[in-house]
Amino acid sequence: MPLMKSWVQSANAADHPFPLNNLPYGVFSTDTLEPRCGVAIGNMILDMARAEEASQIALDGGPFFGEPAWNALMEAGPGTWNHLRAQLTDLLAEGSPARDKIEGFLVPQAEARMHMPFRVAEYTDFYAGKHHATNVGTMFRGPENALPPNWLHIPIGYNGRASSVVVSGTPVRRPWGQLKGPNDDAPRFAPSARFDLELEMGAIVGQPSDGPVTVEEADAMIFGYVLLNDWSARDIQAWEYQPLGPFQAKATATTISPWIVTKAALEAFRVPTPAREVELLPHLRDTGPMLYDLDLWVTLAPEGKGATEIARTNYREMYYSSAQQLAHHTTCGCPMRVGDLLGSGTISGAERHARGSLLELSWGGKEPVELESGETRNFLEDGDTLTLHGVAHGDGYTIGFGECTGKLLPALEEPYKRQIRE
Amino acid sequence: MPLMKSWVQSANAADHPFPLNNLPYGVFSTDTLEPRCGVAIGNMILDMARAEEASQIALDGGPFFGEPAWNALMEAGPGTWNHLRAQLTDLLAEGSPARDKIEGFLVPQAEARMHMPFRVAEYTDFYAGKHHATNVGTMFRGPENALPPNWLHIPIGYNGRASSVVVSGTPVRRPWGQLKGPNDDAPRFAPSARFDLELEMGAIVGQPSDGPVTVEEADAMIFGYVLLNDWSARDIQAWEYQPLGPFQAKATATTISPWIVTKAALEAFRVPTPAREVELLPHLRDTGPMLYDLDLWVTLAPEGKGATEIARTNYREMYYSSAQQLAHHTTCGCPMRVGDLLGSGTISGAERHARGSLLELSWGGKEPVELESGETRNFLEDGDTLTLHGVAHGDGYTIGFGECTGKLLPALEEPYKRQIRE
């Protein structure tokens, strides 16, 4: 499918992230408009609350767009998702007779603030990139035990905290935590000195389930995708993660990009998972291409300085798709809900520059990453701004996700409002 | 404090679980009443929705009790919690002039169905009983590595699934899952053969936080407690839990008792945590007695047969209090929300009969538990009804939690609606 032209001229550039082919969903506000649902088209946002009020958008079961979250639309199900996309495509296409009625509901993106695009019901993070798992396993447990015995059989995952998911642009505060370095006799309570990023995709569950679902059913339940940075305190993680997994090390923040790129927009970019090294059990087998060919990269800008690309990889590097992860998530009967967010796991490729975390890029702090400013990084420094980028390259057009960015603020001098007595 | 007498006569028996000293909060319905908030008093439930409508209960910021959840009252904060308890105590006390106006709002418990008493925001499970951690660690990792190095320094916890928390009485379906026994060459997808209970207390977070909180602040944030059974598929857990912790093994269901026993009702039963083997870092130290002297026991009834007490222990056996767990939960800045539920971890004592799971009671299946029916159990069998019980023994009165019960249904013959092709 080539570029679909819109009467919003900025949407028609071959490298613009938000052409008519994309139509991603977000929540925005301006100085005069309260937070509400919006759809990106070129440099503009269509105010869905006003378009719906004016009956330019009309869907059974609505209204959907007055509240500042896309959950109501998700709940309405795939039929309604398709109707909405068809209506938006008609309204915004070149030559649309509705242009006059719609044009007044467009807001320049430059005037908008972005908010969380949906209410996160629960958040699960996976560990489904083989290069990442091998790299981290080698550092934490040695090369013989790098890949755990179960890794090639199930997409390993753990539950995270929905309350800590924030939208792109939210500053992130370096956490204090309990940690014990190799040279420490006893654990200390101190700011994390090994604070890191994880380059991931997030899949948003748009339909509930109550019992085990197949991989095919799971794919149908997914509403869309966002970029996701699972900020990680490696020193806290190393001390706490045995035997029950990461906990506080992952609880400071998880940042997502502000635009939900729908599964429909990504349809043309489906690719299969890599060849299986061990055949999966039937309930987890691929039934079609369920990864996507997405170019992903990370930039790091020290305080007041320019950004350096520190990593570049592709979502097709994952060993398990989000559909496989979601199917595994339900095997024991775990009910899934509208708004559940599944982090893919860190997406690393085979080459050094394709590694999706500083832990891997600097190999645990032993091989510093060089920045264009002349500085180096083993882990993140106060004031660093970290940004994830993602695009799919179509035939004369681009599907972009918008930036997933956050600036690291220094740790609080005293984490407790009330002093704790020694 | 002795028994406080009520004009509801059944509440005045020394061994009744719901005297005026208790006043636990639940959500109930009857054949004619939709689910709504209620307060247990003796054998009756005070219909809070009608009492509030009739202005017999009057709290600033209300109405609170029409919706089928106690979250709105929790959000109102400790001042309102105290006002409510004071009003209820006045209304229901012997000699209350309001008796005539209130009596019509009492519903016999025998006619009521109980529902989830609150909306669970997120669910976290801890591993904070030392006897349990030592027992399980010995079985999973050998006696030398029984207690992980971090165990005496932090209350180990992991995030669970709020969507799988159910109220007492809900049947639980034996799950399928991926597992690999010691004699299996490869993993299999099969029903769990080692399905188990975990006897725990659940602490309900009644106030939000946005940054690290002290142990004292954490104690003030807790609204109340329930009994909690964290059903666990041990064979699935053994295969999946490394390196990132339990996932599907704990996702089938977590059952809670229907009545929230408030912190105020438990005030007289506070006891300190056991002596510290290693001094805790200052931010996790006890600042007062924050455990409770609660007699806890478990009964198991095979299908169609009588129940046997299989374990008896006490909440004071915990090494960490819920307040310490909550404080630890916030160290990295993790925001806590109204309705968060914290499982204490399995509560086991030193003696065999004081072990809070079948895994421990049968020592991994090697020492079967004998039932009064003549049967034995290593793990749960289809049709078994498992019930947790808990009471605090006061001066001439009892504070009860109500039962936390669930019956184990057999696994589905085919877990997928649509057959998966081999």
Residue ranges per domain, chain A? 9-115, 123-409
Of the two residues A142 and A252, the one the predictor is more confident about is A252
Please state, rounded to an integer, the average pLDDT across all residues of chain B: 96
> By the CB < 8 Å criterion, does B212 face chain A?
yes
Nearest CA distance, A207 vs chain B (angstrom): 14
Contacts of residue B422 in chain A, CB cutoff 8 Å? 282
Measure CB to CB from residue B332 to each of A175, A329, A333 and give the nearest one. Answer: A175
Do the chains contact at A122 and B161, CB–CB below 8 Å? yes
How many residue pairs bridge chain A and chain B with CB atoms within 8 Å of each other?
216
Contacts of residue A161 in chain B, CB cutoff 8 Å? 122, 159, 334-335
Contacts of residue B175 in chain A, CB cutoff 8 Å? 331-333
Tokens encoding A265: 């927009």
Do the chains contact at A150 and B187, CB–CB below 8 Å? yes
Identify the residue whose tokens are 């052409």. A19
Which strand (E) or helix (H) includes residue B221?
A: helix B215-221
DSSP three-state, residue B162: helix
Cα B21-B23-B29 angle, rounded to 5 deg: 155
What is the tens place of the pLDDT at every residue in A183-233? 899 999 999 999 999 999 999 999 999 999 999 999 999 999 999 999 999
Do the chains contact at B122 and A162, CB–CB below 8 Å? yes
Cβ atoms of B263 and B223 within 8 Å: the answer is: yes
> By the CB < 8 Å criterion, does A329 face chain B?
yes
DSSP bridge partners of A406: A386
How many C-beta atoms lie closer than 10 Å to residue B113's C-beta? 14
> By the CB < 8 Å criterion, does A416 face chain B?
yes
How many C-beta atoms lie closer than 10 Å to residue A392's C-beta? 22
Do the chains contact at A156 and B240, CB–CB below 8 Å? yes
**B56 is annotated as contributing to ligand binding:** no
pLDDT at B76: 98
> By the CB < 8 Å criterion, does A164 face chain B?
yes
Query: What are the pLDDT tens digits along chain B (422 aa)?
Result: 899 999 999 999 999 999 999 999 999 999 999 999 999 999 999 999 999 999 999 999 999 999 999 999 999 999 999 999 999 999 999 999 999 999 999 999 999 999 999 999 999 999 989 999 999 999 988 998 899 999 999 999 999 999 999 999 999 999 999 999 888 999 999 999 999 999 999 999 999 999 999 999 999 999 999 999 999 999 999 999 999 999 999 999 999 999 999 999 999 999 999 999 999 999 999 999 999 999 999 999 999 999 999 999 999 999 999 999 999 999 999 999 999 999 999 999 999 999 999 999 999 999 999 999 999 999 999 999 999 999 999 999 999 999 999 999 999 998 997 656 55
- Is residue A375 scored above 90 in pLDDT? yes
Nearest-Cα residue of chain A relative to residue B338: A163
DSSP bridge partners of B227: B201
What is the tens place of the pLDDT at every residue in A146-164? 999 999 999 999 999 999 9
What pLDDT band is residue A87 in, cutting at 50, 70 and 90?
Answer: very high
Contacts of residue B121 in chain A, CB cutoff 8 Å? 163
pLDDT at A419: 60
Contacts of residue A138 in chain B, CB cutoff 8 Å? none
In whole angstroms, give the CA distance from residue B422 to residue B417: 15
Contacts of residue B243 in chain A, CB cutoff 8 Å? 127, 137, 140-141, 148, 156, 241-242, 245
Tokens encoding B300: 């198991």
Please state, rounded to an integer, the average pLDDT across all residues of chain A: 96
What is the tens place of the pLDDT at every residue in B127-147? 989 999 999 999 988 998 899
Specify the CATH number of the domain B123-409.
Answer: 3.90.850.10
pLDDT at B140: 82
B171-198 b/e (C-beta count within 10 Å ≥ 16 → b): ebbbbbbbbbeeeeeebebebbbbbbbb
Interface of A with B in 120-159 (CB under 8 A): 121-122, 127, 137, 140-141, 148-150, 153-154, 156-159
What's the complex ipTM?
A: 0.97
pLDDT at A192: 98
> By the CB < 8 Å criterion, does B245 face chain A?
yes
pLDDT at A265: 98
pLDDT at B145: 87
Long-range Cβ pairs for the range A311-314 (8 Å, 24+): A311/A199, A311/A353, A311/A354, A311/A355, A311/A356, A311/A361, A312/A353, A312/A354, A313/A199, A313/A347, A313/A348, A313/A349, A313/A354, A313/A355, A313/A356, A314/A347, A314/A349
pLDDT at A147: 93
Nearest-Cα residue of chain A relative to residue B125: A244
What mean pLDDT comes out for the span A48-68? 96
User: What sign has the CA pseudo-torsion A43, A49, A54, A58?
Assistant: positive
Does A132 qualify as catalytic in the annotation?
yes
**B127 is annotated as contributing to ligand binding:** yes
Measure CB to CB from residue B122 to each of A140, A161, A236 and give the nearest one. Answer: A161
pLDDT at A421: 56
Percent of chain A with pLDDT over 70: 99
Measure CB to CB from residue A335 to each of B122, B164, B245 and give the nearest one. Answer: B164
> By the CB < 8 Å criterion, does B2 face chain A?
no
pLDDT at A117: 98
Interface of A with B in 280-319 (CB under 8 A): 281-283, 285
Catalytically annotated residues of B: 132
A407, amino acid identity: K
Measure CB to CB from residue B122 to each of A163, A248, A334 and give the nearest one. Answer: A163
Known binding site for Mg(2+): residues of A? 230, 250, 254
How many C-beta atoms lie closer than 10 Å to residue A350's C-beta? 11
What is the tens place of the pLDDT at every residue in A110-136? 999 999 999 999 999 999 899 999 999
Percent of chain A with pLDDT over 90: 95
| Domain A9-115 of CATH type 2.30.30.230 | yes
Measure CB to CB from residue A158 to each of B121, B247, B336 and give the nearest one. Answer: B247
pLDDT at A418: 62
How many C-beta atoms lie closer than 10 Å to residue A86's C-beta? 11
Nearest CA distance, A41 vs chain B (angstrom): 34
Catalytic residue among A16, A83, A131, A132: A132
Contacts of residue B160 in chain A, CB cutoff 8 Å? 159
pLDDT at A302: 98
- Complete DSSP assignment for A70-90: SHHHHHH-HHHHHHHHHHHHH
Cα A359-A313-A274 angle, rounded to 5 deg: 105
